Amino acid sequence: MRYWKPSAALGELISGYHLYGVHALHGQLHHDVFQPAWANLRFLLTPDSDWHVRIRTSGWQPVPHCALFGPSSHVTWSRGGSGVVVGIGLTPLGWARFNKEKAADWANRVGYCDALFGAKLAQFRSHLCEAVDDETVPSLLDAFLIPAMGIPTDLDTVVVTLDTALLDPDTVTVRALAARVGVSVRSLERLAERAFGFPPKLLLRRA
């Protein structure tokens, strides 16, 4: 397992990069579990790995070569053979900036997301597969993400304010949270679904 920080330009949008390599014995599967987290974009660099995941009581599903793991409130079970995965952790602000879809539509869900970079995902995966060594991975990820990050909008400000307010132990009710952000309860609900994936009440428990 390798971890890297993104470029400072991406600091509020990307929580980090990771590379996960598995060497399973012949004929055996490697089992793992992912704890609840914000969204991740993951690239499977070894297509013969036969990687599957399961969330809660759903059945096992194959993971696409370019996979969006939406924000989760439950553990995600994983099984697969030998292989290498490169991942990008998206903060709620990163989701709002890079993805036009609501995070709530991807809550506790894994799949291929056309709205996130479109056809460029498959093209970029081929560049990752051709990487000379692990140390070139973070610079490739930076070069892919920085041109796509766009410019700050008014949405950025309220997303960051909500993210910060969720870390305040004195903010324990939805009304107090809305007051901290400076919006109505209904607007808070829409904001939470758009960038965080869950209703405010669940976010308060999750924090």
- Indicate the CATH number for domain 2-148: 2.60.120
pLDDT tens readout for residues 110-167: 999 777 787 788 889 999 999 878 899 999 999 999 999 989 999 999 999 999 999 9
Whole-angstrom Cα distance, residue 97 to residue 130?
A: 28
pTM as predicted = 0.93
pLDDT tens readout for residues 56-104: 878 999 999 999 999 999 999 999 888 899 999 999 999 999 998 999 9
For the chain, the domains span 2-148, 154-206
Whole-angstrom Cα distance, residue 57 to residue 40?
A: 21
Helix (H) / strand (E) containing 137:
helix 137-145
